[in-house]
Structure 1
Amino acid sequence: MSIEQTNTVPELDFNTPAQRRLRQARMLKDKLAASSIAIGGISVILAVVMIFFYLLYEVAPLFRSAEVAPWGGEQEVSYAVPGTGSTLYLAVEEQAEIGFRVSDAGEMIFFDTTSGQVRLTEQLALPEGVEITSFSLLSEASQTFAFGLSDGSAKVIKHNYKASYPNGQRVLTPELVYPVGEAPLQVADGPIQHLAINGNSDEWALIAQSGSTLSELSLEMTENFLTGEVEIEESRRNLPSFSNAPNKLVMTPDHRWLLASLPQGKIGVMTLGNEPEVSQLLEASKGNLTSFELLLGGNSLIIGDSKGRLSQWFFVRDDANEYQLTHIRDFDHHASDITNLTTEQRRKGIITLSADGMLNIYNSTANRQVLSEPLFDGAADAIALAPRANALLVQHGDRLSFWHVDNEHPEISWSAYWEKVWYEGYEEPEYTWQSSASNNDFEPKYSLMPLAFGTLKAAFYAMLLATPLAICGAIYTAYFMVPAMRRKVKPFIELMEALPTVILGFLAGLWLAPFMEANLAGIFVCLLVIPIAIVLFGFTWNNMPNKIRFLIPEGWDAALLVPVVILATWLGLGLAGPVEEAFFGGHMPTWLSNEVGIPYDQRNAMVVGIAMGFAVIPTIFSITEDAIFAVPKHLSYGSLALGATAWQTLTRVVLPTASPGIFSALMIGMGRAVGETMIVLMATGNTPIMDVNIFEGMRTLAANIAVEMPESEVGSTHYRTLFLAAFVLFLFTFCVNTLAEGIRQHLRKKYGSL
């Protein structure tokens, strides 16, 4: 064989058709993979952006300004006032199709709101020589009013509307009904100058001012179950007089107080009961009171005066546990006489017209002026708001005009969401969330502060438990544990993350919470006994003879801590009984409540911290362990070779290098804790309170959305407020994650050169 044949190397041809096809296939796969990854990333970003804008779309209407415009569009709907005489009362029915007017001539007229065409007219039947001397409205929502007559009698009437559907078309038929009968009720001995009325289907009360005398007529109505006849039992009494003759009288729905508008801007309060007495005389204004009305529910008094001041008053308990009429708030109003005032029938809204024709709409809960817009050149004679607050009927001179009102969410303002609000019946301003109640005159309370506080409180206690356990466990597993043991421990801990949170919440609420209440002292004893037991066992094991220590394979001695922890827990719980008897009177929760004044709720933040911490630990542990294990070994070996101890290498080399990953683990764990729903929902009392007490519950934003979204009306204020809660949660998570990413990049840049 020749030398040339011996040194011949076979030539490789990389340009064969097969190789070209292989390269083309690889290039195609690379492009497909890159495109798929890019599309996936862009899709995630688009999904997040779309969620953001959808939440914003649902929330934006909450802060839209109110508007008022002619009912028919740009052209004003105006027509002559039907009937004769001066208007005593003006109203609009539910569908805003029929208006109702009562005049001082006793005419009661139903008419079309858009054309003024009269539908029905009735004349008040009066004895000869008897005149109308006063008028009183029970409330806008009740549609019930009363005439006070010159002979000391009164008539109670209600305007009502029946709906029928002939040929599939809705037809409204107005009617007048007499709740206490058509016969006049004798209330006073002389002409009734002012009248206050209050009642329901069973009991009625009428208070009349005649000269200097105040008289009360009470009616108790009983229906005979056999004949169906209604028997009326009457009782009369005289009441003490106010210091000055009142300009107007109103009675609270509970028949507890009589409020009087007095001259020189004063308010008189009479406590009704077995022994009526004038309990308060207050100066409400430097001018004269021009408006004096009860807000929806009859708990608040709304006062307008000749100085253009509009204020709200309601009863508050004082230090002596007595109710006192208290000035709560003033509303922004320009300095012009308030000549007309009416209230909404289903919300805490107030509508005023000033002497200069300025229309103003307010909401008492939000302490907000929703609208201020000029409507006429001068004062109006009467105003009426439809029950749905979407239509306004105004009499200006001898003309009626009909207006459309767009005011969907007046009870919302930033102060109502994030500041303390003084709600009706409360002794002071508070943060409160209570979105619904059983009565129709309920004042919604939409403070987001208790929910935001509860979210942070739950996350804090969960992270307080999870952070040290997860990070310390990850450090030991990644840096000190032998590989064979690590391969068993790490998957077991990560498997914990697969547990459904609803199961954890179920166990926390039905087993852990009662267990902790029954063994509260034992829990705290265990917190002391377990660390001491671990330290003592470590010291003892380290000083054992080598022949005993070497019985356990190197690196597996940490497994001996498992029975130590179990025995220490058993010992701690066993010591709970003697400890409670010796220091806590036999029951620690009762001792905390009675002796220390710390309320104890069975489902509290401590239960949530343990249950939610258990759910967060696998997330933090897994990411932290991977970050520490991924630190290049040559850094550790180099540090050890230079004489550093294992602990010094860990704290000065390994942990700084792994700090970006550890920080990311904490932020992801915190995000999990903030957004957790089921554990918080089932393991707490789910009460929206602001209390740092670890033994009290809370309600989080996520849990509140889960509980109340199914029962909220689509498009309502409640519905959009829940979306706002979701928007706040989204922004909080986004801001925290953005900040965390910035810190992570800073740590990576700082320690990346190691």
Structure 2
Amino acid sequence: MSTNNTASSELDFDTPAAKRHRNIRALKDKFASAGIAFGGISVIVAILLIFFYLLYEVAPLFESAKIERWQDNEQTVAPYAVPGEGNTLYLTMEEQAEIGLRVTDTGTFSFFNTRNGEVLKKESVSLPEGVTVTSFALASEYSGIFALGYSNGQAQVFQHKYKSTYPNGVRVITPGIEYPLGAETIQVSDGPLEVLALNGEEDTWTLVGGQQSKLNAAQISLTENLITEEVMAESDLVAMPDMNIPANKILLMPDRRWMLISGEDSKLGVVDMNAEGGPKVTQLIDATPGNITSFELLLGGNSLLISDDKGETSQWFLVRNEDNEWLLTKIRDFKNGSAPITGISIEHRRKGFAAITDSGDISFFTTTAERNSLNAAVAKGNVDMIALAPRSNALLVEQNGELTLWKIHNEHPEISWSALWEKVWYEGYQEPEFTWQSSASTNDFEPKYSLMPLAFGTLKAAFYAMLLGTPLAICGAIYTAYFMVPAMRRKVKPFIELMEALPTVILGFLAGLWLAPFMEVNLAGIFVTLLVLPVAIIAFAYAWACAPKAIRFLIPEGWDAALLVPVVIIATMFSFWIAPGIEQVLFGTEMRYWVSNELGIPYDQRNALVVGIAMGFAVIPTIFSITEDAIFAVPKHLSYGSLALGATPWQTLVRVVMPTASPGIFSAVMIGMGRAVGETMIVLMATGNTPIMDVNIFEGMRTLAANIAVEMPESEVGSTHYRILFLAAFVLFLFTFFVNTLAELVRQRLRKKYGSL
């Protein structure tokens, strides 16, 4: 009885200590469960926050434009009478859209408050008796330089400027008229200047004008008096031959080589001012199906915009043909309805314009993106003139002697699906292309925001990295987990995993400054090594298998793989030793020169091969570690049972171990690919960062991640460029999310298929 009682007391699970232990354990379980749940939910929430933050930054890119009547202190600015006398020749605004300028055919310049029409300053041209203003020409909206043509055949060039001062901390804008070509008039023709064109830069300018069928060109050179700082203009007048095109309007491109003539019956003439023997018409085109109503140069002066009474606006620019001749080519159309377009206003700093119809409906277009961002009614019936502010945030509409001020919200019109993912025909290009070029030194630059080169570069870099890293990592993991003796495995596995701790900036530094120059000089050695090394390993393995047992037994079982280390080193050294001779025999010169000259394949020092090798070493530890764990975790009874049934170790590996470990191996490859896709520093330092689309392994590339790292510090917060970089990050996020989701589905299917083994 005493023995039974003792046993019963020892098996009592309800003692205070046992209850306390169970309570503590239950509490720990609850804390662990809560912690794990909190951690998992936090990860999901963090990913969702990243997703929505990226979406928040990207969404404004695709918003439509808005237009509304301007308001000051919540009061709508009412229409007011146009300032000055005469008919409007030119209407514009200064930077802040606070002061407007109206130039009339009486030679009057009226600066006025755009909110109420109050005249702030008024200047008039001193015209001789009986002389009137007969024509107007604008160099560009950005420069603010324009010219008036007179009935006596003379022209005068002006520039409107605005000076900002801050007395007592209050901004005061002072407008004024300057004379960039001197205050004196310039003789252009012996008759009235019915048409006039102006363009130039710095000290060289050209004025072309005259009657519809008789034009002259005045070549103007400027000199400045160093003492008085007075600008003196020397003019050389050249009579132009008859162009056989009665000109309604003429335009001169900034290089002053090409002049464009708008003629009767929608005829468009292109004149080469530098042609041999003097200016001559090189093209005569039927530009539009209807009558030309607007004829203007886009920002930069390299593209022509033509509007007609059929409601269509077309963009044209010069393109070289197969015979190396320049031809004015129609690039794209912009159409919104069939109402006649009566006028257009060019944006001062973007490749866009606003078109107004005879019914008072206005449309905003961006040429590069081929985007119509706004259609709205700003008047009832035909308007006389429209003018955009330099920042394209305000619009002046003149109708029946009154001006109306409108506020515009149109922040990112340069973006559309076609601009991001399709080929775009940019100014100066011979054909549509995928191009990324986000900035330049000129103000009339056409931004090129195609993400295709960046996405292509990302996949290219990942492909070559995985091509090198995946076979080495998986084969190494198979041997380490399945064939290697435990003592050697305990040394090899941590050593390879330690490679993952190496900062990628170090790998990028080595790849860019050492590996790339080394490969350029020893390119043949690299390829000879790729051929010799496998042969050397197989030959050594065969020789070792045929060696006498007395020799083979000198090496402990499972340690014979260590003998491959000197084999690899010796084979590599031998490859580089024989490479120069092979190079001379096969190519007669260095391999890189032969590749470039004979095959026509460009060779860039920092190329995809360098990235593949450097980034391959970066992803090898990740793939190796996960694959090795997956293979080593396969239950031993499966492999023992297979061997017991007569299968060879290789058959057991291929038919039992690998299928069972396939979910883990697939996960390793997908995680390695994610690492390669998101890698920044290696591709940043070893690729040359050229955003081109070329599968050539000897060419560089630019990836999405590297592009963000390079350009984000230079982008203006909230700008189109800034949000495009966030869009690149969003695309990278969606790509990795899609790949990881697909990988998880495949992994679950593999686990379900082979989990019953």
Which one of the candidate residues 366, 390, 393 is aligned to 1:363?
366
Gaps of 5+ in 1: none
Question: Who is 1:745 aligned against?
Answer: 748
Question: Who is 1:347 aligned against?
Answer: 350
1:394 CA displacement: 0.5
Question: Who is 1:441 aligned against?
Answer: 444
| Alpha-carbon distance in structure 2 between the residues aligned to 1:182 and 1:606 | 63
Could you tell me whether the CA contact under 8 Å between 1:264 and 1:285 is conserved in 2? no
| Alpha-carbon distance in structure 2 between the residues aligned to 1:681 and 1:396 | 56
Amino acid paired to 1:272? M
Amino acid paired to 1:508? A
| Alpha-carbon distance in structure 2 between the residues aligned to 1:532 and 1:95 | 74
**Greater CA drift, 274-283 or 402-411:** 274-283
| Alpha-carbon distance in structure 2 between the residues aligned to 1:663 and 1:705 | 29
Relative to structure 1, is the Cα distance of residues 645 and 211 closer, same or farther in structure 2, using a 3 angstrom cutoff? closer
1:51 equivalenced with 2:50 (yes/no) = yes
Amino acid paired to 1:9? T
Amino acid paired to 1:115? N
| Alpha-carbon distance in structure 1 between the residues aligned to 2:3 and 2:620 | 67
Could you tell me whether the CA contact under 8 Å between 1:99 and 1:112 is conserved in 2? yes
Question: Who is 1:242 aligned against?
Answer: 243
Amino acid paired to 2:6? V
- What are the Cα deviations for residues 589-611 of structure 1, in whole angstroms up to 9, with x where unaligned? 11111100111101000000000
1:698 equivalenced with 2:701 (yes/no) = yes
Question: Who is 1:490 aligned against?
Answer: 493
| Alpha-carbon distance in structure 2 between the residues aligned to 1:449 and 1:335 | 35
Question: Who is 2:114 aligned against?
Answer: 113
| Alpha-carbon distance in structure 2 between the residues aligned to 1:725 and 1:615 | 23
- What are the Cα deviations for residues 405-453 of structure 1, in whole angstroms up to 9, with x where unaligned? 1100001001100000000000000000000001110000000000000
| Alpha-carbon distance in structure 2 between the residues aligned to 1:321 and 1:517 | 36
1:713 CA displacement: 0.3
1:216 CA displacement: 1.0
1:74 CA displacement: 8.0
Question: Who is 2:220 aligned against?
Answer: 219
Could you tell me whether the CA contact under 8 Å between 1:246 and 1:260 is conserved in 2? yes
Amino acid paired to 1:25? I
1:5 CA displacement: 5.4
Alignment of 1:454-465 (within 5 A): 454-465=457-468
| Alpha-carbon distance in structure 2 between the residues aligned to 1:555 and 1:244 | 92
Question: Who is 1:79 aligned against?
Answer: 80
Q: Secondary structure at the match of 1:504?
A: helix
Amino acid paired to 1:31? K
Relative to structure 1, is the Cα distance of residues 547 and 589 closer, same or farther in structure 2, using a 3 angstrom cutoff? same
Question: Who is 2:6 aligned against?
Answer: 9
1:155 equivalenced with 2:152 (yes/no) = no
Q: Secondary structure at the match of 1:526?
A: helix
- What are the Cα deviations for residues 169-218 of structure 1, in whole angstroms up to 9, with x where unaligned? 00111111111222211111111110001133312211112353211112
Could you tell me whether the CA contact under 8 Å between 1:577 and 1:586 is conserved in 2? no
**Greater CA drift, 674-683 or 136-145:** 136-145
1:729 CA displacement: 0.2
- What are the Cα deviations for residues 427-481 of structure 1, in whole angstroms up to 9, with x where unaligned? 0000000000011100000000000000000000000011111001101110111
Count of matched residue pairs: 751
Amino acid paired to 1:439? T
| Alpha-carbon distance in structure 2 between the residues aligned to 1:212 and 1:245 | 5
1:686 equivalenced with 2:683 (yes/no) = no
**Greater CA drift, 411-420 or 210-219:** 210-219
- What are the Cα deviations for residues 562-609 of structure 1, in whole angstroms up to 9, with x where unaligned? 111111111111111011111122211111111001111010000000
- What are the Cα deviations for residues 373-429 of structure 1, in whole angstroms up to 9, with x where unaligned? 122221110111000000000001111100001100001001100000000000000
| Alpha-carbon distance in structure 1 between the residues aligned to 2:336 and 2:41 | 51
Question: Who is 2:19 aligned against?
Answer: 20
Amino acid paired to 2:674? G
Q: Secondary structure at the match of 2:265?
A: coil
1:331 CA displacement: 1.1
1:76 CA displacement: 5.6
Question: Who is 2:280 aligned against?
Answer: 277
Alignment of 1:704-743 (within 5 A): 704-743=707-746
Question: Who is 1:667 aligned against?
Answer: 670
Which one of the candidate residues 574, 590, 594 is aligned to 1:591?
594
Amino acid paired to 1:98? I
| Alpha-carbon distance in structure 1 between the residues aligned to 2:500 and 2:465 | 15
**Greater CA drift, 156-165 or 427-436:** 156-165
Question: Who is 1:127 aligned against?
Answer: 128
Gaps of 5+ in 2: none
Question: Who is 2:418 aligned against?
Answer: 415
Could you tell me whether the CA contact under 8 Å between 2:212 and 2:247 is conserved in 1? no
Alignment of 1:131-210 (within 5 A): 131-210=132-211
| Alpha-carbon distance in structure 2 between the residues aligned to 1:241 and 1:570 | 77
Question: Who is 1:391 aligned against?
Answer: 394
| Alpha-carbon distance in structure 2 between the residues aligned to 1:386 and 1:5 | 105
Could you tell me whether the CA contact under 8 Å between 2:100 and 2:114 is conserved in 1? yes
| Alpha-carbon distance in structure 1 between the residues aligned to 2:460 and 2:209 | 56
1:7 CA displacement: 6.6
- What are the Cα deviations for residues 602-623 of structure 1, in whole angstroms up to 9, with x where unaligned? 1000000000000000000000
Could you tell me whether the CA contact under 8 Å between 1:381 and 1:395 is conserved in 2? yes
Could you tell me whether the CA contact under 8 Å between 1:315 and 1:425 is conserved in 2? yes
| Alpha-carbon distance in structure 1 between the residues aligned to 2:114 and 2:692 | 47
**Greater CA drift, 663-672 or 175-184:** 175-184
1:9 CA displacement: 3.3
TM-score by length of 2: 0.98
**Greater CA drift, 712-721 or 316-325:** 316-325
| Alpha-carbon distance in structure 2 between the residues aligned to 1:234 and 1:254 | 18
Alignment of 1:217-366 (within 5 A): 217-225=218-226, 228-273=229-274, 275-366=278-369
Could you tell me whether the CA contact under 8 Å between 1:77 and 1:403 is conserved in 2? no
Q: Secondary structure at the match of 2:338?
A: coil
**Greater CA drift, 372-381 or 187-196:** 372-381
1:103 equivalenced with 2:104 (yes/no) = yes
1:133 CA displacement: 1.1
Identity of aligned residues (%): 66
Could you tell me whether the CA contact under 8 Å between 2:311 and 2:335 is conserved in 1? no
Alignment of 1:37-48 (within 5 A): 37-48=36-47
Q: Give the root-mean-square deviation of aligned CA atoms.
A: 1.3
Amino acid paired to 1:236? L
1:333 CA displacement: 2.4
| Alpha-carbon distance in structure 1 between the residues aligned to 2:130 and 2:735 | 73
- What are the Cα deviations for residues 602-654 of structure 1, in whole angstroms up to 9, with x where unaligned? 10000000000000000000000000000000001111111111111111110
Which one of the candidate residues 574, 599, 608 is aligned to 2:611?
608
| Alpha-carbon distance in structure 1 between the residues aligned to 2:552 and 2:751 | 41
Amino acid paired to 1:241? D
TM-score by length of 1: 0.98
| Alpha-carbon distance in structure 1 between the residues aligned to 2:222 and 2:136 | 23
Question: Who is 1:566 aligned against?
Answer: 569
| Alpha-carbon distance in structure 2 between the residues aligned to 1:119 and 1:596 | 69
Amino acid paired to 2:80? Y
Q: Secondary structure at the match of 2:79?
A: strand
Amino acid paired to 2:354? I
| Alpha-carbon distance in structure 2 between the residues aligned to 1:729 and 1:586 | 42
Q: Secondary structure at the match of 1:9?
A: helix
Amino acid paired to 1:34? S
Relative to structure 1, is the Cα distance of residues 334 and 5 closer, same or farther in structure 2, using a 3 angstrom cutoff? closer
Could you tell me whether the CA contact under 8 Å between 1:620 and 1:668 is conserved in 2? yes
Question: Who is 1:634 aligned against?
Answer: 637
| Alpha-carbon distance in structure 1 between the residues aligned to 2:673 and 2:243 | 63
Could you tell me whether the CA contact under 8 Å between 2:243 and 2:280 is conserved in 1? no
